[in-house]
Amino acid sequence: MLFAFSVAPMTTGEDGSVHDAVAAAVKVVRESGLPHETTSMFTTIEGDWDECMDVIKRATDAVRAFGSRVSLVVKADIRPGHDSGEIQGKVDRLEKAIAESE
């Protein structure tokens, strides 16, 4: 399963940024050992339901230290039979489809 999530405090620092809070969340993800990828908008993790939801909860808890209100957005790709390598596998299949259509 893939889970893409974005978590941030509802209030921001003096410069309007939430990077310190997001860094705390990404640290939790990295320490989890799950395959992951962080982009400017989301962090994607790969694993089973329970382990991914645990990481998302702990990452959210880490952000709670930066404000009393937190925003969490989660999108999941639940695809039986595709248990690992899908962070890159989905991109590879997309790139192949684009190349074949040219």
Q: What is the pLDDT of residues 65-92, one digit of tens each?
A: 998 899 999 999 998 887 789 999 999 9
Tally of domains in the chain: 1
Q: What is the pTM of this model?
A: 0.89
pLDDT (tens digit per residue) in 26-79: 999 999 999 999 999 999 999 999 999 999 999 999 999 998 899 999 999 998
Domain that holds residue 9: 2-101
- In whole angstroms, what is the distance from residue 6 CA to residue 65 CA? 16
Residue 26, number of CB atoms within 10 A of its CB:
17
Distance CA 30, CA 44 (A): 11
Residue 8 sits in a domain of what CATH number?
3.30.70.930
Residue 100 pLDDT level (bands cut at 50, 70, 90): very high
Q: How far apart, in whole angstroms, are the C-alpha atoms of residue 25 and residue 51? A: 15
